[in-house]
Structure 1
């Protein structure tokens, strides 16, 4: 399995709501970083992903570009977070490091302005009649 296929599978499993399958692709000592948010490490990552599902938070991904060199994979994608009728779509740049078929570093960067703006738009659309 290539590093690129591991990352694609991870994100696609999350998008399909298959959190346990996604967690299987994470190293036990994985480090998950997000712009200006606390870093999650090891079991905290699995707990956070399971918690999202338990709370009914949806995740979807649209891959725009994926490039890999060796064990490093760069993603340019649109992530969608949802809860009920609320949806927030925003651009994410991800850098992943894969070792022995497992993600050891997951580093996502995004614009908070875009994420908040999309969240507000999603809120307005969510309260308007369908």
Structure 2
């Protein structure tokens, strides 16, 4: 029997699709138990429980999430993405450029770092709703 290994790119694409469809069970299943997740320059989440808690905090403000993939590349289990992330929900619409780095080992994401301009995001949030801006800032720093 031939064993076909899932590429790191496929794992990342499946993970981002799970987030788009708000399928947290699938997203969680694709994360390693000891994953390190960081929205640079904010502090990193260490472990699957912390990463999922942060993602659920984002989903409290945004009821819809879309990824527009511009570029994706893989080398030795490291996947680089250049994308536009769109989060929207009642009273909020955020659209911002993100460069993400994912390390995949044994079919699981072990490290995920997203780089984006936090001032752009904060400016969009402030325009949407001061209350949502306060909740978003709190969700970023309450780890």
Give the TM-score taking structure 1 as reference length: 0.85
- The match for 2:27 is 22
**Deviation (angstroms), 1:37:** 1.5
- The match for 1:99 is 105
Work out whether 1:79 is the aligned partner of 2:85. yes
Matches within 5 A, 1:5-84: 5-42=10-47, 43-53=49-59, 55=60, 57-58=62-63, 59-84=65-90
| CA distance 1:122–1:78, shift in 2 (3 Å) | farther
- Structure 1 outlier segments of 4+, above 3 Å: 50-53, 120-123
Counterpart Cα distance in 2 of 1:65 and 1:111: 18
Could you tell me which runs of 5 or more consecutive residues in structure 1 were left unpaired when the two chains were aligned. Answer: 124-130
**Deviation (angstroms), 1:106:** 0.1
| CA distance 1:19–1:32, shift in 2 (3 Å) | same
8 A Cα contact 2:62 2:89, kept in partner:
yes
Counterpart Cα distance in 1 of 2:84 and 2:124: 12
Could you tell me which runs of 5 or more consecutive residues in structure 2 were left unpaired when the two chains were aligned. Answer: 1-5, 130-143
How many residues end up aligned between the 2 structures?
123
| CA distance 1:49–1:116, shift in 2 (3 Å) | closer
**Deviation (angstroms), 1:119:** 2.7
